[in-house]
Structure 1
Amino acid sequence: MCSYSFSVSKVYGYSDGRIRRFKDDFMFGASTAAYQVEGAWDLDGKGESIWDRFLHQNPEIIPDGEGGDEACDSYHNYKRDVEMLRELGLDYYRFSISWPRILPQGFANNINKKGLEYYDNLIDELLKYDIKPMVTMFHFDLPQTLQDLGGWANPNSVQWFEEYAKVIFKQYAHKVPYWITVNQPNFICVDGYGGKENAPGIGSSGIGDYMCIKNVMLAHAKAYRLYEKEYKKQFNADVGISLALSWVDPLNNITENVEAADIYRDFTIAMYVNPIWSKEGDFPRTVKRRVLERSTAQGFPESRFPVLSPEEIQLLKGSADFMGVNHYTTFLVKPSEKQYPVPSFEDDVNVTLTYRPEWKQAQSKWLRSAPYGIYKLCLYLNKEYDYPLMIITEHGWSTKKVLKDRSRVRNMREFFKALLLGIEDGARVKGYTSWSLMDNVEWSAGTSERFGLYDVDFESSKKTRTARLSALVYKRIIEQRIVEPHWIPNSLNISITKRSNAQRNDIEPYFVFIINYLFKNILLS
């Protein structure tokens, strides 16, 4: 196992002085999600989602009061969104389809043609400029009508999702080369069904969240098998799932802390990766044993953790062409001294999360800059799951409303350096997706946390988008295929360009980079 060096060369950004380069076929993109950017929450036949209901009923939890009713109004501004993708020179755009915009009551008996038309227009606009659509089928916004029937805690949700998948595959399969079935099952289930601070806010920790996890994972597998059976041979798109995979290290090398880190990884990484990518399939043994022991001690007649049948295990095994990795931060772990509610997910895991004091904090309280985590995550996934094909489907950094977002630039550069080391050590990473293309409604945080490469003026009628410093730096990295630690644009003006790897001499990025460095650090000193 190779160690990650924290020393930084002034010239190249690596302690060994080497320039590491993204290959010409490495893809770059940007992400958004329907509820967070579209607005038009009740226009043209769209149904109510759980996030519409949740934030309408609990507006006081939003720090700045900005919910998703209007958001960035991408429903009307999608051409400007595509223009921004063109300005950055991106290969693809990851966006989500709103289930209630397509099926207002959640069921396939009532298909909203206006909803289909919106996504047809967006996809066609992307294809017009050779930008690949990467479609997320479900990004948190469940139709409220389905939630009224139990939502993801209802086993019938597996069938509901499969029927929804049939509708959108039929409409868009011939246009879309990349599909993501579900985004972040842990957020959907542990936060939404186990907790109360995110939609639907059920608060059934240790029971409802586990029911949700099983059903969401099976729904993913059903959608994958549907595409595999009916569309794979003709259109050959890649279908995956996006998982929130934070890295965790033990607080120190004390045995108890090392064990705590292993447990936390099993509950937050292996929980979702094992059923699809492990040789044996199924949920991790550690998770099943631990929840069973606690359930028995708590007087339950059987484990609170649901069982997968042999047929369900086989359905899930191998049900992805790639692993979508949403990676933002790293935690340090030790056994908890706190008494958690019983039963609960927190009590089952029973750890305390912390950070190193030198890790810089973003605008979001939970987000610290520890980019080495993506390198260690790559090594872990390589070792445990035999080098899975991956796409970084989310990575980002939150700030206040500023245009010169230097902290995001630093975080991006350090992340790319660590990612390139992971690729060098064998990680099969096909692409990187920035979260987010533009500022959006960050769920319960409203617009108080800005993740966008583009600033959005939410007070303007047109929701004006303006490129940040990070947008130009990202554009430069895409063009040059290397990380230049000192490059800064002369202004924040950005124009549409289309990079062409075939027309660029491979030595050019290195030459330009060295000349820039010499000019800024020697001739001007």
Structure 2
Amino acid sequence: MNKDFLWGAAMCASQAEGGYLEGGKGLTANDIFPALNEGRWEALYNVPESLQKKYNYYPSHQAIDFYHRYVEDIKLLAELGIKVFRTSINWARIFPNGDELEPNEEGLQFYEDVFNECGKYGITPVVTLNHFDTPLGLYKYGGWKNKKVITFFERYCETVFKRFKTQVKYWITFNEINMILGIPIVGGLIDPLKEENILEAKYQGAHNQLVASAIATKIGHEINPEFMVGSMIGAGKNYPYSPNPADVWAAYQADQEEYSLIDVQVKGKYSAYMRRYFEKNDIDILATEEEMALLKTYTADFLALSYYSTRLTAANNEDKEATGGNIADTLKNSYLEANDFGWQIDPLGFRITLNELYDRYEVPLFIVENGLAAMDVADENYFVEDDYRINYFAKHIQAMKEAMDDGVDIIGYATWGTIDIVSASSGIMSKRYGLVYVDLDDEGNGTRNRYKKKSFDWYKKVVTSNGEELM
């Protein structure tokens, strides 16, 4: 491994911080789970009082309390010897409703304190600007479907770029930007129940995010030419269910649609496949010549990605067994094992995915999320002997090293949810990724104290050996 390789740890604001209305913060969609998760869309109009009789625990309201315990948590992460900490700024801490003219100083000071704490240990923050936390106040505009939100995002970016221009080098504009197509309410604050043409609304919202990302890249480079401003995809190769050409074509289409937004962020234009897709599906994107010029000029400096599993795709899903996946289910691959939630474990698929992304985009890759979700059970001393997680990481890191030997340029690697955090999709705590166990259950009971799992010392050995000691 290159001596400059960036080993890291990862989490995000909405799943870790808590303090959901402290320090002047506004609301985001994450703050009204599990209501939204159950389709209780009235939560968007009356938050949170109208639902308090049914729901008395909203996981992100306290989360694991990183907001008050960040000094302890960063010290714990520093023990691993990591070089980078991938986290996010919650936009609603800086502009509580999203459309204010002036930022909230308490929010800015909080992140300044967090980044200063990282600096004490020589840890560089890798910061996501929008990790599924568009301020709920922008719902009244129609969310990201409305071009006014681009202006609000631009103001937010300029504010944080200036404030943290000496503390942060790596920025990611949108977490897993392709997720706006699968979960538009979380990814783009676009309400499926209010749209006559939800497909068009999703792609309009996605286009506006692409424009906002290009503007952020432009501003970032102007404020600090040393900034690296990247895009991010929720990655995972789509395999065909069988050699049937119809299945191969279905998998190809799934990949093209998965890559459609990253194509724009890295290559500066929509692919021919997607232009035909828009025409075929009567999708009329409002895109000006000025916007297309911005997209062409201000492309991503690197491509960040999350990877958990590959997907299996067929032309016809009838009579085929489904299994769990990141956001959306997929078909079950009989050649692969799965985690406790049905997500299929595929280290070779990781190598395939990394090679394909690098071949397609020819920009450095940054793995900012990789991990195993499991129903960890702690003993009476809160110790978790998670050999299954160690095995997962060892195989995936080895696959990453082989991809690098293949010629793939990779900046760094960060384990996801390095300290246990609440689930983004469900809000549960029992779905654990961490190397550190947090004493907290699905109903919010527990001390929130931290305890190292067996995988903690294992990953410390990996980091200090620069990936040489995997087992």
TM-score (norm 1): 0.78
1:49–1:193 CA distance, 2 compared to 1 (3 A): closer
1:272 paired to 2:261: yes
How far the C-alpha of 1:124 sits from its partner, in A, is 0.5
Local SS of the residue matching 2:173: strand
- Tell me what 1:369 maps to: 345
1:450–1:37 CA distance, 2 compared to 1 (3 A): same
- Tell me what 1:409 maps to: 390
In structure 2, distance between residues paired with 1:308 and 1:37: 36
- Tell me what 1:473 maps to: 458
How far the C-alpha of 1:144 sits from its partner, in A, is 0.9
In structure 2, distance between residues paired with 1:305 and 1:337: 29
How many residues are treated as equivalent by the alignment? 436
Which has the higher Rg, Structure 1 or Structure 2?
1
- Tell me what 1:398 maps to: 373
213-222 or 246-255: bigger deviation: 246-255
How far the C-alpha of 1:181 sits from its partner, in A, is 1.3
1:355 paired to 2:332: yes
- Tell me what 2:300 maps to: 320
In structure 1, distance between residues paired with 2:422 and 2:189: 14
TM-superposition CA deviations, 1:435-489 (whole Å, max 9, x none): 012111112322131111211112566511111122222111111233546x4xx
CA contact (8 A) 2:33 2:426 kept: no
- Tell me what 2:150 maps to: 158
CA contact (8 A) 1:95 1:134 kept: yes
Question: What amino acid does structure 2 have at the position aligned with 1:393?
Answer: V
1:47 paired to 2:26: yes
1:266–1:194 CA distance, 2 compared to 1 (3 A): farther
In structure 2, distance between residues paired with 1:105 and 1:199: 13
In structure 2, distance between residues paired with 1:239 and 1:394: 17
- Tell me what 2:98 maps to: 106
How far the C-alpha of 1:305 sits from its partner, in A, is 4.8
CA contact (8 A) 2:144 2:190 kept: no
Local SS of the residue matching 2:159: helix
In structure 1, distance between residues paired with 2:347 and 2:55: 28
TM-score (norm 2): 0.86
How well do the aligned residues superpose, as a CA RMSD in angstroms?
2.6
1:66–1:168 CA distance, 2 compared to 1 (3 A): same
- Tell me what 1:495 maps to: none
- Tell me what 1:427 maps to: 408
CA contact (8 A) 1:250 1:334 kept: yes
CA contact (8 A) 1:193 1:208 kept: no
1:453–1:63 CA distance, 2 compared to 1 (3 A): farther
1:263 paired to 2:258: no
1:131–1:228 CA distance, 2 compared to 1 (3 A): same
TM-superposition CA deviations, 1:293-329 (whole Å, max 9, x none): 2x3xxxxxxx215264443233123521111011111
1:222 paired to 2:215: yes
- Tell me what 2:84 maps to: 92
TM-superposition CA deviations, 1:365-396 (whole Å, max 9, x none): 3x2101111211222223322x2111101111
Q: Choose from 134, 139, 152 the match for 1:147.
A: 139
1:290–1:44 CA distance, 2 compared to 1 (3 A): closer
Question: What amino acid does structure 2 have at the position aligned with 1:207?
Answer: E
Q: Choose from 224, 227, 238 the match for 1:231.
A: 224
Q: Choose from 4, 14, 39 the match for 1:35.
A: 14
In structure 1, distance between residues paired with 2:432 and 2:186: 26
How far the C-alpha of 1:194 sits from its partner, in A, is 9.5
In structure 2, distance between residues paired with 1:223 and 1:206: 26
Local SS of the residue matching 2:338: coil
Q: Choose from 176, 180, 192 the match for 2:184.
A: 192
TM-superposition CA deviations, 1:235-292 (whole Å, max 9, x none): x1211122111111212322222211111110002x12211333xx322221221342
How far the C-alpha of 1:53 sits from its partner, in A, is 3.4
In structure 1, distance between residues paired with 2:264 and 2:358: 16
Gaps of 5+ in 1: 1-21, 296-302, 339-350, 488-525
In structure 2, distance between residues paired with 1:131 and 1:112: 26
In structure 2, distance between residues paired with 1:24 and 1:354: 40
1:98–1:261 CA distance, 2 compared to 1 (3 A): same
In structure 1, distance between residues paired with 2:171 and 2:447: 30
Local SS of the residue matching 2:345: coil
Alignment of 1:41-80 (within 5 A): 41-55=20-34, 67-80=59-72
In structure 2, distance between residues paired with 1:122 and 1:461: 25
Gaps of 5+ in 2: 41-53, 319-327, 378-383
Question: What amino acid does structure 2 have at the position aligned with 1:355?
Answer: K
- Tell me what 2:432 maps to: 450
- Tell me what 2:203 maps to: 210
1:440 paired to 2:424: no
1:370–1:476 CA distance, 2 compared to 1 (3 A): same
Local SS of the residue matching 1:111: coil
TM-superposition CA deviations, 1:149-208 (whole Å, max 9, x none): 11111111111110111111121112111111111112234312499xx96653554222
Question: What amino acid does structure 1 have at the position aligned with 2:272?
Answer: R
Identity of aligned residues (%): 28
Q: Choose from 292, 295, 298 the match for 2:279.
A: 292
Question: What amino acid does structure 1 have at the position aligned with 2:147?
Answer: P
Local SS of the residue matching 1:30: strand
In structure 2, distance between residues paired with 1:213 and 1:381: 20
In structure 2, distance between residues paired with 1:305 and 1:476: 52
CA contact (8 A) 1:38 1:71 kept: yes
397-406 or 307-316: bigger deviation: 307-316
Local SS of the residue matching 1:207: helix
